[in-house]
């Protein structure tokens, strides 16, 4: 069984795929940005509490 691709619908499907891929990329970038910000805040909080404990 050979796999065939319909050339007639390729442009519209391609546009939809690009739009979907752009939305997915945007969602992933936003997710990663939020997680990195969370990690950075936690790291700053840990460093601040660790430095306070070392002064005792």
Indicate if the pLDDT at residue 6 is higher than 60.
Answer: no
Q: Which helix (H) or strand (E) holds 36?
A: helix 10-55
Provide the pLDDT confidence category of residue 4 given band limits of 50, 70 and 90: low
Tokens of 6: 């319909």
Residue 8: pLDDT over 60: no
Side-chain-side CA neighbours of 33 within 13 Å: the count stands at 6
Better-scored residue on pLDDT, 11 or 3: 11
pLDDT in tens, 11-52: 677 888 999 999 999 999 999 999 999 999 999 998 888 787
**Whether this model's pTM surpasses 0.85:** no
Q: What is the pLDDT of residue 21?
A: 95
CA angle 20, 26, 28 (to 5 degrees): 100
Q: 2 — phi, psi (to 5°)?
A: -90, 145
């Amino acid at each position: 069984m050979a796999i065939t691709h319909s050339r007639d619908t390729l442009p519209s499907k391609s546009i939809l795929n690009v739009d979907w891929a752009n939305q997915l990329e945007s969602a992933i970038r936003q997710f990663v940005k939020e997680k990195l910000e969370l990690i950075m805040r936690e790291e700053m909080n840990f460093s601040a509490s660790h430095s306070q404990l070392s002064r005792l």
